[in-house]
Amino acid sequence: MVELIEEYGDRIELLHVKDAVNLNAGGRPTFTNLGEGDVPLQDILAAGQEAGVELYVMEYDRAPDGEDFVTTGFEYLTGQEAGENERTVAVTTQVRCLAGNAYLAVRALNDEDVPLTITLDTPYGSKTVENVAPGKNAYQAFPVRSSEVEAGTSSVTATDAEGGTATVETEYAASSCG
């Protein structure tokens, strides 16, 4: 298989990936989760990556537990734990006072290595900031329109271009600016 990928790799856009045991025994092979069989998948996947293959389809004929197969296969192919497409942001929420008026200041730091769209939500307003670069902040001071702030929660949602999201809720204490 590796030799075929090396020879025809410039024409291969997609690899159909399976794993099995009893490959050289008489009869049919027994299919299994990716990485649990006798197919030299690491060599095949490395050749595919070298050839520039962009898409991989994984299959397990008659998988006894389809959800387990999908989870195991995803983790095997990507090296990531399934469900880990959540993005991380560090959030601070503070009450600030200016001339006797209260403001709820929300700052979200992009802790990722890709740009994020960050939405800051509070009881006093909402703001979305697009393309927040890695290591940069989205910030907004929302006017409370009062000198008093009741305790509450702000919510920050970060989304990457591929749909990975994270929502962080931060509590803040009641405060008075008067």
Please report, for the chain, the start and end positions of each structural domain, with discontinuous segments joined by +. Answer: 2-78, 89-176
For residue 86, is pLDDT > 90?
Answer: no
Q: Which residues contact 3 (CB under 8 A, 6 or more apart)?
A: none
Structure tokens at 149: 């702030």
Output the pLDDT for position 68. 82
Output the pLDDT for position 61. 78
Flag whether the pTM goes above 0.85: no
User: What mean pLDDT do residues 33-43 have?
Assistant: 87
For residue 94, is pLDDT > 90?
Answer: yes
Output the pLDDT for position 117. 95
Q: What is the pLDDT of residues 1-36, one digit of tens each?
A: 888 888 888 888 888 888 888 888 777 888 888 888
Q: What is the DSSP letter of 172?
A: E
Output the pLDDT for position 70. 83
Q: Spell out a b/e string for 84-117, using b for 16 or more CB atoms within 10 Å of the CB, else e.
A: eeebebebebebeeeeeebbbbbbbbbebeeebb
User: What mean pLDDT do residues 146-155 have?
Assistant: 94
Q: Are the C-beta atoms of residues 170 and 152 closer than 8 Å to each other?
A: no
Kindly report the number of other CB atoms within 10 A of residue 83's CB atom: 9
Q: What angle do CA 158, 161, 164 make, to 5 degrees?
A: 50
Output the pLDDT for position 152. 95
Output the pLDDT for position 84. 56
For residue 85, is pLDDT > 60?
Answer: no
- Where does 89-176 sit in CATH, by number? 2.60.40.10
